[in-house]
């Protein structure tokens, strides 16, 4: 099965006679993961896969995958997220590879920049010991500042047109020579 532990090395501050004040000590730890011969099971699943937000108004776009280890030995999933825009262009985000201990759930995060052009499909690919699992989701990435400017300009033009009481229409006809 799987076993894990750590070795901790530390320094001891010098002992003095009746000293006051602060002293410094240091510690270094090393994590040890072992797989010993015997009955083991490597079983895991993707607990969840979600974007940080349902609509991204600016970069970066961020995703969270949660991996649950249901086996008896630690696993270290390797993976990526492929983002596909409405034109079929793909962007790949690499997920950090981290150990997941038996019975635990590990949160894996990835983020990156994409053109903010609308609907995206995100596909998660995770692999452990040659066995791959996937999940898929969709989200929107829109240029918030550009949309706000366009909305403000349209609103301004609408207000100006309403206040002119038809004077703009008559002026346009005069300028175009229709009156």
Q: What is the pLDDT of residue 96?
A: 93
Q: How confident is the model at residue 125 (pLDDT cuts 50, 70, 90)?
A: very high
Strand 78-84 and strand 27-35: the pairing is unpaired
Would you say 25 and 13 are in contact if contact means Cβ atoms under 8 Å apart?
yes
Q: How confident is the model at residue 108 (pLDDT cuts 50, 70, 90)?
A: very high
Would you say 75 and 99 are in contact if contact means Cβ atoms under 8 Å apart?
yes
Mean confidence (pLDDT) of the chain: 85
Higher pLDDT, 107 or 141: 107
Rounded to whole angstroms, the Cα distance separating 120 from 139 reads 5
The closest alpha carbon to 52, from 96, 112, 98, belongs to: 112
Q: How confident is the model at residue 146 (pLDDT cuts 50, 70, 90)?
A: low
On the question of pLDDT at 84 being above 90, the answer is yes
**E strand or H helix at 139, and its extent?**
strand 131-141
Q: What is the pLDDT of residue 147?
A: 66
Q: What is the pTM of this model?
A: 0.70
The string of pLDDT tens digits covering residues 65-74 is 999 999 988 9
Residues 6+ apart with CB under 8 A from 19: none
């Amino acid at each position: 099965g799987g076993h894990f532990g750590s070795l901790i090395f530390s320094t001891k501050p010098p002992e003095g006679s009746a000293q006051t004040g602060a002293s410094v000590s240091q510690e270094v730890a090393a994590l040890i993961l072992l797989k010993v011969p015997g009955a083991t099971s490597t079983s895991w699943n993707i607990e969840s896969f979600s974007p940080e937000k349902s609509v991204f108004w600016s970069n970066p776009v961020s995703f969270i995958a949660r991996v649950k280890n249901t086996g008896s030995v630690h696993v270290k999933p390797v993976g990526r997220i492929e983002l596909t825009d409405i034109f079929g262009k793909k962007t790949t985000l690499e997920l950090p590879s981290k150990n997941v201990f038996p019975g635990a759930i590990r949160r894996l995060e990835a983020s990156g920049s994409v053109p903010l052009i609308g609907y995206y499909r995100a596909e998660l690919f995770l692999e452990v010991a040659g066995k791959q699992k996937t999940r898929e989701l969709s989200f929107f990435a829109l240029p918030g500042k550009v949309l706000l400017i366009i909305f403000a300009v349209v609103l301004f033009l609408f207000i100006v047109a309403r206040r002119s009481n038809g004077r703009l229409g008559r002026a346009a006809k005069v300028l175009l020579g229709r009156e």
